[in-house]
Amino acid sequence: MALYCVISAGGAPGATTTALGLALTWPGKVLLAECDPAGRRVLSGFMADRLKGPAGPGLLGLAMAVQANPNGAAAALEEYTLPLTQDGEARLLHGIHDPRQVRQLARLWRPLADTFMAQDGDVIADLGRVGGAETPVGLLEAADVVVMVLRPTLGQVDAALPRLEVLREVVGEGAQIRLCLIDDGAYSAAEVQRVLGHPITAELPCSPPDARVLSDGAAPRLTFNASLLMRGLETMGRRVRKAAEEAGRADASSEETDTAAQAVQPSPAAAASAGGGR
Ligand SMILES: Nc1ncnc2c1ncn2[C@@H]1O[C@H](COP(=O)(O)OP(=O)(O)O)[C@@H](O)[C@H]1O
Ligand SMILES: [Mg+2]
């Protein structure tokens, strides 16, 4: 499986909408994990009229289970999730309700990431705006691909630049960083890519009626499933999965390099007997 983190630089560009749309168009088993420190959004939006029973404890409950038993929580993960689609292949781990609860999660993001990675199926984690003290860094460190969603406006590009610089230092060696543009701004994709220095993996149409189905649970038009937005999200999914494969390859080659480097280094015992310390 792979961990995909969807982030923004602020300004509500559509990170949650995009993460949910990816999950709904994903082939096979996928978990949408709402990890935005600002709180959950899908239960009161897309799921408002779709929820059949109690929502359950969601992310906070899982985090407590992870704290109690870091190695056992993956097996029980499904108990904390809800089906997003009828076939149950896409599931939702709903986020915190009260932003004050984020303090309880602060040291648990990394074990949560490990739990996500220990189950089968991909995970799309919606982290919301990054850059604040509450940013779930433990998830970013473990991500295979991080996608920043933004609109091509001066304000969003300006906010994105320093956050992407920090992100490069935070994410793992092979992790891939991608941009997703919601086509609602003055700048072209080429200009944004040049200024921000990361590949644009998708240019999604700005389509408020279709986006509101995802963000607010609005009634879908007959053409919703075949809409430019949903088709764009499907294509974006294919591209980010390809990026995750590249991340896997980069990880594997850095492991190979490490092994090769170890092979030419003396063992600790040999170094010690030769008078070398560590
Ligand atoms: N592709 C899109 N086209 C038009 N409106 C969009 C699109 N994606 C999101 N939106 C709208 O933008 C607003 C913010 O979306 P949301 O996903 O909650 O943003 P964020 O998670 O970044 O704060 C919502 O009203 C949503 O309907
Ligand atoms: Mg959001």
Report which secondary-structure segment, H or E, holds 26.
none
Distance 151 CA to ligand 2 centre (A): 14
Q: What does the buried/exposed string (b/e) look like for 13-37 if buried means 16 or more CB atoms within 10 Å of the residue's CB? A: bbbbbbbbbbbbbbeeebbbbbbbb
What tokens were used for 53?
């029973």
Q: Is the CB of 207 under 6 A from ligand 1?
A: yes
Residue nearest (by alpha carbon) to ligand 1 atom 6: 211
Q: Beta strand 90-93 with 82-83: parallel, antiparallel or unpaired? A: antiparallel
- Of 43, 21, 134, 26, the C-alpha closest to 94 is 43
- Judged by its nearest atom, the ligand closest to the C-alpha of residue 12 is 1
pLDDT digits (tens, 9 = 90+) for 253-270: 655 544 433 433 333 333
In angstroms, what is the span from residue 134 Cα to ligand 1's centroid? 22
- pLDDT score recorded for residue 75: 87
| pTM given for the model | 0.91
277 Cα–ligand 1 center, Å: 56
Nearest CA owner, ligand 1 atom 23? 12
Residue range 148-194, pLDDT digits in tens: 999 999 999 999 999 999 999 999 888 999 999 999 999 999 999 99
Q: What is the predicted pLDDT for the residue at 253?
A: 66
pLDDT value of residue 172: 82
**pLDDT tens sequence across 51-67:** 988 999 999 999 999 99
Distance (Å) from CA 19 to ligand 1 centroid: 10
Residue 252, judged by CB atoms within 10 A of its CB (0-12, 13-18, 19+), counts as exposed
Q: To test ligand 1's pocket by mutation, which of 181, 215, 224, 236 has the most ligand atoms within 8 angstroms of CB?
A: 215
Q: With a 6 A CB cut-off, is 215 part of the ligand 1 pocket?
A: yes
User: Which of the four CATH numbers 1.20.1260.10, 3.40.190.10, 3.40.50.300, 3.40.1260.10 does domain 3-273 have?
Assistant: 3.40.50.300
Which ranges of the chain have pLDDT less than 70? Answer: 252-278
Domain extent listing, the chain: 3-273
From atom 15 of ligand 1, which residue's Cα is the shortest distance away?
Answer: 14
Residue 227 Cβ contacting ligand 1 at under 6 Å? no
CB of 150 closer than 6 A to ligand 1? Answer: no
Cβ contact 243:250 at 8 Å = no
pLDDT of residue 260: 39
* pLDDT at site 268: 37
Spacing, Cα 12 to ligand 1 middle (Å) = 6
Helices (H) and strands (E) in the chain, counts: 10, 8
Top mutation candidate among 6, 17, 36, 184 for ligand 1, by most atoms within 8 Å of CB: 17
Contact criterion met (CB below 8 Å) for 130 and 158: no
What pLDDT does residue 258 have? 44
Distance 34 CA to ligand 2 centre (A): 9
The whole-angstrom separation of Cα 5 and Cα 145 is 6
Rounded to the nearest angstrom, the gap between the alpha carbon of residue 200 and the centroid of all alpha carbons in its chain is: 16
